[in-house]
Structure 1
Amino acid sequence: MKTQAESNGIVTLTGEGEKLVKDSPLYNEGLRPTTRAEHSWTAYNFASLWVGMSICLPTYAMAAGLISLGMNWWQAIITIILGNVIVLIPILLNSHAGTKFGIPYPVFARLWFGSKGAHIPAVARGLIGAGWFGINCWFGGAAIDTLLMSMTGWEHVPGHLWIAFFAFWLLNAWIAYRGPETIKKMEAWAAPILIIMSLALLVWALTKAGGWGPMLSAPSKFTSSGEFLKVFFPALTGAIAFWATMALNIPDFCRYAKSQKAQIIGQSSSLPTTMGGFSFIGVAVASATVVIYGEAIWDPAAVLAKFSPFAIFLGTIGIILATLTTNVAANIVAPARAVENLAPRKLTYEHGAIIASVVSLLMQPWYILENFGNYIFLWLGTYGALLGPIDGIAIADYWLVRKRRIHLTELYKTNGIYSYKTGYNTRALWAMAIGIVIPFVCKYVPALSIIWDNAWTVGLLISLAIYTWMMRNDSTIMSVKDYEKVTARGGESKAS
């Protein structure tokens, strides 16, 4: 029986396929495969998504923070661009699965971890997304607090920073609750505005510092290659880890792609360029603060406080836009889907968005942002070591083990082939554990510390190799003949 149809590289359920799984406890409206009509996102939609997500305060803070750690402007930019080119590879590899089969990340994870085991990578990604959600809300709340202090007697209100933070957190939570289509519409019009405001900030820095020369003349503080590399490798891992979260749950967005070409062009043209460009603005402004104020200021709210009230007002509008477009797209969809996947028949995306927003407070973003060391070494470095192995398993399973052949209806059956024997794929658990433990142990062995400094990359490669070897003869792998038995060619799916 043909349970799925493939047309122009996109696979959807047939009417017969939907009947088989629509009553399954693993199936609901948010987790089902998309219909052909829902594959509507163009290259522009993906480009605007990444512009909106990349132009954000954490990007600025990361770039400016590398200056405060001792890099000069071009060392910082090269580090960030290189990190984003590297992470673009797993993003595009995992995007292919979301585009071809129209499945969200938690369902994709069932393929490699099992119907129950999928909760492990989904919740891991969700917790990190919730942490980022809180970090962005803290940045935005601090900017609003700065604005109010510049215009009124707001600084005399007890707990004024916390009030601004919680108000902005509520705004973010409300927009996130509205769902992915609201995100798509918001990104489309916000992206051009953010580009203009970013360029305006660069012009200010250029003018105030007296030109490119004084602004970018600050030398590197490192006196040897060894000193530089001690900071470069963990900083590179931080730059990679910055979007390692999206490398996992990018199927949540690419399941709506019009074609593989649309998502590849849209993402490849926008991620490295926007991150590089906005990082340059962060680096330039931080370098300018050295010239203007005698110190590198990496906190954008602290820079904003130096401006006139009107400039602070415009800057705050830009910060609110930048935070919203990043937060609701990059940081809430994955946690919301992870929560929804815990009980598909009882929980919805909306429930997940609310729960994830609350969890973001438990992650204590104010502590993570207490100093830059916490931000890039503790936060980015640690979760990069966790997500790298999961990225490796996802890529290995789809590209090397299954060779892009998936039986869609089996992903929604509690006793399907992707449930394995107990609901858990123990091979994935072992590959993940080994990929995490080896870099973590090396953290405490001085001679091997470089492995920890590159934990995301090392963990990804270790888990990818181990998982591929362990799964080489697994019974869940579909042959070309098996795939053709359930897949109608050139046909349309059920009515959309």
Structure 2
Amino acid sequence: MAFRQRLVSLDEKIRLKGDAAQHEQTDSWSNRDLIPLPPSRRTWGWFNFFGFWAIASLNVANWQTPSTYLTMGLSVRQAMLIIVVGRVLIALFSTLIAWAGLKWHIGFTVQNRYSWGMRASYIPLLQRILLNFIWNAVQCWNGGRLCAVCITAIWPSFARIPNTFGSNMPTTTYEFVGFVVFWFLSTPFLWLRPEKFKLPFQIVCTWCGVGMLAWMIWALATAKGVGPLWNSGQQLPVGSAWSSSWLIMAGINQMVGGLAAGITNGSDFSRYASARRHYVIGTITSCLITGVLVSFIGLVTAAAAQKIYGEVYWNPPDLLMVMMDSGNGSSKARAGVFFLSAGFAFTAMFENICGNAIAGGIDLAGLFPRYIDIRRGAIITFVAAWIVQPWQLINRATTFITVLSSFSVFLAPIMGIMACDYYVLRRRRIRLSHLYRTKNSCYTFWKGVNWRAIPAWICGWAPTIGGLVVTVRMDPSPPRALVQLYYMAFLIGFFISAVVFYLLNLAFPVPDMDQIDEVDVYGTFSPAEARRIGVIPLDEDSSVMGISETGMGRGSVENVVVSEDGKKS
């Protein structure tokens, strides 16, 4: 009996509490971070979104992007064409998927409930959680390499630190210390809520942006121009099975697919927009301008460095170590390297926190709303980096990273279902109160499962999974058709799932898919938004006023409207 009382007491202590006056009820489907965001919490202006997408561009991976396409045998012009077209598609798909968050102020976790059903929404949610755990660990490891360069710039002897790990450990003490430092420096920022991200975005974007430009200018000035890499023409291997057109298509698919995880959960962050135009302006300008410029700067810097050092260095940490002669260079060289590597490291830090830790926190909150909010979920995601052990993944299992990067094969069909359901079937109308009910919800479908979404999702990835398998296995003579489908996996998955989902809804229609609440139950909308959408603000609802006159408070009104059993009492 005493043990049971202790369990009840512990449960009461760790269970999340919400402010009923702010409609922050906590139950099996809802908590403060899952409800539609009220105007007071929508603080992101255009620069927030510009910064959000900029930190996804101002990083090592985007710097190295041109090398991927040049090693395929494409020319510099073809590589830049892939980058420009890919960035345009990323901006378009990001806006398309995130629009539900801009209008209804709900995130990816809740958004899938009206397409998949309340219970089946865990299918896309669990995929996102898995990706968040693994990519967070991988990004921490990559950031750790930059931290190791920073430490070497301060204490050159660090580069010569003895390796205390045995032969069974696929890393060195030098790399592991960098990982530990990066992980611990990142941890305090997990307590920062998304509403407060503007200042970090400003600092990181300015620091890293200025650093990249300075790096390129220094390289060009020192080399007195670019090296032969800049003039690389098309160099397809003799007897190549693929023409340049197919390789360009594969590059575009890889470009968009690499950011598929961030596109899929775009509404997690678009819901924080203070106005729709802020998201559109910030996202499109950053995706197009920053994304293309960083790849261009990386290409020019690598080409100039080739002329200086006689070798092409695509990986910034490697080039930085060469620039300061592994810590043995002059104090000026080490100071410059520290500034650059620290800028890259802080950008990687906030990219990881936003794109993986915070996103993971939101997704975990969807699984356990009573106990996990964004902050707790972000901490869990970050601690999981030690369980994932990224040093094992990166230094040993290269094929695993390839599979992880190709996960868009499964995410693109999810996006196709989301877009078809929201824009075509529901005509951008959602009944918010029913997204947080267990019973009497129009999104319960059959026992909480909208069975139409499952075959539509499978049809989206079934044609391309074979190409993924033969590519990862590096088969010497794979079936041509399978690889061609894989080279178009993102677009194929998106459109096949959208079409199949639409046809299934035509054959087995769901009644009244475009219904909305009559009253703004959660106080989500400003008066202007409520008029535009066609809902009555809570304070103006006549039934609410009648209840209030009987002595029931505003919190009671909320309970009447959104109780899980759907009954008024």
The reply to whether TM is greater than 0.5 is yes
- Using the size of structure 2 for normalisation, the TM-score is 0.77
Residue 484 of structure 1 deviates from its aligned partner by 6.9
| Counterpart selection for 1:156 from 157, 161, 165 | 161
Instruction: Tell me by how many angstroms 1:204 deviates.
Output: 2.4
Aligned counterparts of 1:54 and 1:310: Cα–Cα separation in 2: 24
Q: Please name the residue that 1:483 is paired with.
A: 516
Q: Deviations over 1:379-411 (max 9, x none)?
A: 32x211111111111111111111100000000
Letter in 1 for 2:422: Y
**Structure (1 or 2) with the larger CA radius of gyration:** 2
Q: Aligned match of 1:431 in 456, 473, 476? A: 456
Q: What is aligned with 2:497?
A: 463
Residues in 2 aligned to 1:469 and 1:296: alpha-carbon distance in whole angstroms: 51
Contact 2:137 2:386 in 1 (8 A): yes
Separation in 2, partners of 1:54, 1:464: 29
Q: Deviations over 1:179-198 (max 9, x none)?
A: 31343331133222222111
1:463-490, CA deviations, whole angstroms, 9 ceiling, x for partnerless residues? 11111221235336434xx437456636
Could you give the per-residue CA deviations for residues 294-353 of structure 1, whole angstroms, max 9, x where no partner exists? 443222111110123222211121112211221111222221111111110122222211
Q: 1:305 aligns with which of 315, 321, 342?
A: 321
Query: Counterparts of 1:321 and 1:223 in 2: how far apart (Å)?
Result: 39
Q: Which AA in structure 2 matches 1:403?
A: R
Instruction: Give the match for residue 269 of structure 2.
Output: 253
- Call closer, same or farther: CA 1:176–1:341 in 2, change over 3 Å: same
In the alignment, is the contact (CA less than 8 A) between 1:67 and 1:286 conserved in 2?
no
TM-score by length of 1: 0.88
Q: Over the residues paired in the alignment, what is the CA RMSD in angstroms?
A: 2.9
Query: Would you say 1:170 and 2:184 are equivalent positions?
Result: yes
Post-superposition offset of 1:243: 1.7
The 5-angstrom pairing of residues 222-261 of structure 1 reads 222=236, 226-229=242-245, 231-261=247-277
Paired residues of 1:241 and 1:384 also in contact (CA < 8 A): yes
Aligned to 2:303: 287
Q: CA deviation at 1:78?
A: 1.6
Percent identity of equivalent pairs: 25
Q: Secondary structure at the match of 2:314?
A: coil
Assess, with a 3 A threshold, how the Cα gap between structure 1 residues 375 and 412 changes in structure 2: closer, same or farther. Answer: same
Q: 2: CA distance between counterparts of 1:322 and 1:127? A: 23
| Cα separation, 2, equivalents of 1:265 and 1:127 | 31
Q: Distance in 2 between matches of 1:321 and 1:236?
A: 28
The answer to whether the 8 A contact 1:407-1:486 is kept is no
Task: Name the amino acid aligned to 2:68.
Answer: G
Match of 1:81 among 80, 84, 88: 84
Aligned positions of 1:10-159 closer than 5 A = 22=25, 24-150=27-153, 151-154=155-158, 155-157=160-162, 158=164, 159=173
Question: In 1, distance between residues paired with 2:398 and 2:309?
Answer: 22
- Secondary structure of 1:305's partner? helix
Checking the alignment, whether the CA contact within 8 Å between 2:87 and 2:288 is kept in structure 1 is yes
Counterpart in 2 of 1:392? 416
The CA deviation at 1:112 is 1.0
What is the deviation of 1:213?
Answer: 6.2
Q: Is the contact made by 2:58 and 2:344 (CA closer than 8 Å) also made in structure 1? A: no
What pairs with 1:176-215 in structure 2 (closer than 5 Å)? Answer: 176-212=190-226, 214=228
- Give unpaired runs (5+ residues) of structure 2: 1-18, 165-172, 325-333, 471-478, 521-529, 540-553, 556-569
Say whether residues 1:266 and 2:302 are aligned partners: no
- Name which of structure 1's ranges 59-68 and 434-443 shifts more when overlaid on structure 2: 59-68
Q: Provide the aligned length of Structure 1 versus Structure 2.
A: 478
Single out whichever of 23-32 and 123-132 deviates more from structure 2.
Answer: 123-132
Quick one: distance in 1 between partners of 2:148 and 2:234? 34
Pairwise CA distance, 1:366: 4.1
Contact 1:68 1:298 in 2 (8 A): no
Query: What CA distance in whole angstroms lies between the structure 2 residues aligned with 1:285 and 1:476?
Result: 58
Given that residues 340 and 347 in structure 1 are in contact (C-alpha distance below 8 angstroms), is that contact kept between their aligned partners in structure 2?
Answer: yes
Equivalent pair of 2:62/2:294 in contact (CA under 8 Å): yes
Spell out the pairing of 1:273-422 with structure 2 (5 A cutoff): 273-308=289-324, 309-366=334-391, 369-370=394-395, 377-380=402-405, 382-415=406-439, 416-422=441-447
Structure 1 residues 208 and 66: CA distance shift in structure 2, 3 A: farther
> Quick one: distance in 1 between partners of 2:65 and 2:137?
16
Q: Which residue of 1 aligns with 2:526?
A: none
Q: Which amino acid aligns with 1:329?
A: C
Pairwise CA distance, 1:34: 0.5
Counterpart CA distance in 2 for 1:463 and 1:17 is 41
Q: 1:265 to 1:79 in 2, by over 3 A?
A: same
- Distance in structure 2 (CA, Å) of the matches to 1:68 and 1:371: 22
Structure 1: how far apart are the matches of 2:280 and 2:185?
A: 32
Q: Match of 1:197, as an amino acid?
A: G
> Which amino acid is the alignment partner of residue 344 of structure 2?
I
Q: CA deviation at 1:16?
A: 11
- Report if the CA contact (8 A) 2:147-2:181 is conserved: no
1:361/1:16 CA distance change after superposition, 3 Å: closer
- Structure 1 residue 135: deviation in Å? 2.7
Alpha-carbon distance, 1:59 to partner: 1.2
In structure 1, the residue corresponding to 2:200 is in which secondary structure?
Answer: helix
Rounded to whole Å, the distance in 2 between the matches of 1:390 and 1:350 is 26
Q: 1:368 deviation in Å? A: 5.6
